Structure 1
Amino acid sequence: MSLLRAKIQDVFNEPGCEQNRGKDAKARKKGCSKPLTPGAAAGGCAFDGAKIVLQPITDAAHLVHGPLACEGNSWDNRGAASSGPTLWRTSFTTDLTELDVVMGRGERKLFKAIREIKEAYGPPAIFVYPTCVTALIGDDIEAVCQRAAEKFGLAVVPVNAPGFVGSKNLGNRLAGEALLEHVIGTAEPDDPGPYDINILGEFNLSGEFWLVKALLDRLGIRVRACIPGDARYFDIACAHRARAAMMVCSTALINLARKMDERWGIPFFEGSFYGITDTSDALRNIAELLVKQGADPEILGRTEVLIAEEEAIAWKKLAAYRPRLAGKRVLLNTGGVKSWSVVHALMEIGIEIVGTSVKKSTVEDKERIKQILKDDNHIFEQMAARELYAMLSEHKADILLSGGRTQFIALKAKTPWLDINQERQHPYAGYDGMVELVRQIDIVIHNPIWGQVREPAPWDCQPAVREERPSTKSETGTLHAVQEFAGTTADDFGEC
């Protein structure tokens, strides 16, 4: 536990984070996020954050050491895609019970589980995640993993990020520490080259990184390791031989990028693959960084040729949507890199941004938003469900872009909604991804269902006064009433 505490303090004292550098020593120890509310950590605890970063390593087994509910909460928490192995889609847990806790059988049960995974699946590595329960009872995860690695001849990686230590963002960074300590640098590639790069903080949601990788392949740039999207354990183990790195989400793995630069001299920059301009800038920055690291300068010219070709194709496709979407108002309820990258992408085709959230954004993200929007009134730290509903029901936005948690607010307000978070079904990165994003927005906004659901229901309309409609009471009065109503027409109802 003392080692975990020291590691957490080291993550809090992140010199690569501009916000962290601006704090005094006392504030720095508190970390970057608000304390968690007991019992309300689902989807936001350190354990969940570590699992998010490491589970997309597709050929590894991911074993949760704790009660069954912890694995149920974290499994399948991202829409990441794999081009090959599917082992990461299998759930493994030690399923610790109260009796196991009382009898002190946690460590023995963990060792047995590692052995069973090794014999049944033979993965190159097993990542072991302690949870709140196993951390509190003091199971020595690192000792068990070390013993199992020696016994079974495979990498067994302890990921010390139990839920109670902090937020999801802290768990992201602790996962990066686990990779630095136990994985990266443990293998050597057979064919290192001057055009090898790492992509950090890219999750390959809906396979969108494949759209970007196709562009890099055309430039002769090889992705040595994409961490974690569609990753293989051996590729991450060889990641220290890359010549440059691009960081897609700084809040998640900035500590990993900085320490890889310090240990192995891999310079990095932060960029985005959302939007035409940002994608082009990212490709230029990658090429320039490789040239600084010794690559042939001719790659700069080839990069500009590729950018010109792809931009011309993308703008031609987007021209059909511009008159249909120009002036449409979009509200974004997301965070992180999407809070500014998607904003910039949509403004390129004339869409108006009425607001964007910055609840998961860094100081750098917020500065970018201010430069793009030129108005702080369109930036909100957090919007309660009641305020969000009021804004949508008053038709201050034509569409809401957000995650699945707020979709029902939009539907209740009878406002179009599109998922742009991890559960989305369409890739939005790169030039083709930008065209797809605009296409989906056009489809959702112009769906005829919205005109229908906004029409008042017939029973909300006041019936018109009829001059003569005699009514008689009889034993068949109910039947007469039904026949009378069935004979009415739309003209029988007045204005709503």
Structure 2
Amino acid sequence: MSSLRAKIQDVFNEPACEQNRGKDAKARKEGCSKPLTPGAAAGGCAFDGAKIVLQPITDVAHLIHAPLACEGNSWDNRGAASSGPTLWRTSFTTDLTELDVVMGRGERKLFKAIREIKEAYGPPAIFVYPTCVTALIGDDIEAVCKRAAEKFGLPVVPVNAPGFVGSKNLGNKLAGEALLEHVIGTVEPDDAGPYDINILGEFNLSGEFWLVKPLLDRLGIRVRACIPGDARYFDIACAHRARAAMMVCSTALINLARKMEQRWDIPFFEGSFYGITDTSEALRQISQLLVKKGADPEILGRTEALIAEEEAIAWKKLTAYRPRLEGKRVLLNTGGVKSWSVVHALMEIGIEIVGTSVKKSTVEDKERIKQILKDDNHIFEQMAPRELYAMLSEHKADIMLSGGRTQFIALKAKTPWLDINQERQHPYAGYDGMVELVRQIDLAIHNPIWLQVREPAPWDCQPAVREELPRTKSETATLHAVQKFAGTTADDFGEC
């Protein structure tokens, strides 16, 4: 537990984070997580964050040392995609019971589970995750993993991020620490070259990275490791031989990028593959870093030629959407890298941004937004559901882009909504992804269903009552009773 405490303290004191550098010593010890409000949902825990970062490593067996519910609540929590292995889609857990805890059988059960996975599946590695229960009862996960690795002849990696130690973001960083300590640098590749790069913080949601990798292939740039999207254990183990790196989500793995630069001299930059301009700029910066590390400068010319060709194709495809979407107002309720990269992407085609959240965004992210929007009034840290609903119901936005948790606010306000977070079904990265994002926005805004749902409901709009035949006393009494019960009279109903 003391080693875990030291790792957490090291993550809190992150020198690569500008926001962290601006704090005093006492504030740095508290980290970046806000204190929890009693009775409020805390969001993901550290275990959840570690699982998010490591589960997309597709050929690894991910073993949860905990009661069953811990794995059941975290399995498949992101829409990452794999181009090959499917072992990561199989849930493994030691399924501890109260009797196991009382009798102290946790470590023995964990060792047995590792052996069973080795014999049944033969993975290149097994990642072991303790959770709150097994951390509190004192199971020595690192000792069991070390013994199992010696016994079975394969890497068994302890991912020491039990849920109670902090937030999901802290778990992201602790997962990066596990890769640094136990995986990266453990294998020496025999094919290292001057055009090898790492992509960090890219999760390949809905196969997004597959829209970007062909561009790099055309430039002769090899992705040594994409961490974690569609990754393989061997690729990550060899990641220390890359010449440069691109950081996509700095809030998750900035510590990994910084320490890889310190240990193996791998320079990195933070960029985005969302939007035409940002995709082009990311390709330029990758090429420039490679040239600084010794690659042939001719790659710079090839990069510019590729950018010119792909931008021309993308803008030609977007021409049809510009007159339909120009001037449309979008509300972004997301965070992180999407808080600025998607803003820039949408403004390129004339869409107006009426607001964007900066929840989970770094100081650098917020500065980029200010430079793009030129107005702080459109930036909000967090907007309550009631305020979101008021904004949408007053028609201050034509569509909201957010995650699944706020979709029902938009639907209640009878406003189009598009999922842009990890549960989305369409890839939005790269040039083709930008065209797809605009196409989905166009489909959502111009869907004819919105004209129908905004019409008055049939029970709010009934035809006038026409008396063609005289009523009997019984019929009149019944009508009066119904009107009295409803609090209306026949005069209240008219034509729509």
Bin the TM-score by the shorter chain.
over 0.9
Deviations 1:316-375 (A, max 9, x none): 000000000011110011000000000000000000101010111000000101111111
For residue 475 of structure 2, give the secondary structure of its aligned residue in structure 1. Answer: coil
Quote how far apart the aligned CAs of 1:492 are: 12
For residue 225 of structure 2, give the secondary structure of its aligned residue in structure 1. Answer: strand
Quote how far apart the aligned CAs of 1:236 are: 0.1
TM-score (norm 1): 0.95
Contact 1:42 1:73 in 2 (8 A): no
Distance (whole Å) between structure 2 residues aligned to residue 458 and residue 328 of structure 1: 30
| Structure-2 residue corresponding to 1:439 | 439
- Superposition RMSD on alpha carbons, in Å? 3.1
| Structure-2 residue corresponding to 1:35 | 35
Contact 2:161 2:171 in 1 (8 A): yes
Quote how far apart the aligned CAs of 1:126 are: 0.6
Say how many residue pairs are matched: 496
Change (3 A) 1:137 1:326: same
Contact 1:115 1:152 in 2 (8 A): yes
Quote how far apart the aligned CAs of 1:470 are: 3.1
Quote how far apart the aligned CAs of 1:182 are: 0.1
Deviations 1:281-302 (A, max 9, x none): 0000000000000000000000
Contact 1:43 1:74 in 2 (8 A): no
Change (3 A) 1:84 1:43: farther
Quote how far apart the aligned CAs of 1:472 are: 2.9
Distance (whole Å) between structure 2 residues aligned to residue 238 and residue 102 of structure 1: 42
Deviations 1:86-130 (A, max 9, x none): 000000111111111111111111111111111110000111111
Seq. identity, % = 94
Change (3 A) 1:487 1:111: closer
Change (3 A) 1:320 1:472: same
Deviations 1:438-487 (A, max 9, x none): 00000011000010001001211254364655323569999999999999
Deviations 1:21-41 (A, max 9, x none): 000110000001113457866
For residue 142 of structure 1, give the secondary structure of its aligned residue in structure 2. Answer: helix
Contact 2:36 2:42 in 1 (8 A): no
Distance (whole Å) between structure 2 residues aligned to residue 156 and residue 80 of structure 1: 23
Change (3 A) 1:117 1:476: farther
Deviations 1:177-206 (A, max 9, x none): 000000000001120000000000000000
| Structure-2 residue corresponding to 1:452 | 452
Change (3 A) 1:209 1:104: same
Change (3 A) 1:493 1:316: farther
Contact 2:465 2:490 in 1 (8 A): no
1:24 aligns with 2:17: no
Contact 1:35 1:166 in 2 (8 A): no
Contact 2:197 2:242 in 1 (8 A): yes
TM-score (norm 2): 0.95
Deviations 1:133-184 (A, max 9, x none): 1111111000000000000000000001111111111000000000000000
Distance (whole Å) between structure 1 residues aligned to residue 89 and residue 477 of structure 2: 63
Change (3 A) 1:474 1:159: same
**Structure 1, gaps ≥5 residues long:** none
Change (3 A) 1:469 1:286: farther
Change (3 A) 1:69 1:300: same
Contact 1:36 1:166 in 2 (8 A): no
Describe how 1:276-315 pairs up with structure 2 within 5 A: 276-315=276-315
| Structure-1 residue corresponding to 2:396 | 396
| Structure-2 residue corresponding to 1:180 | 180
**Structure 2, gaps ≥5 residues long:** none
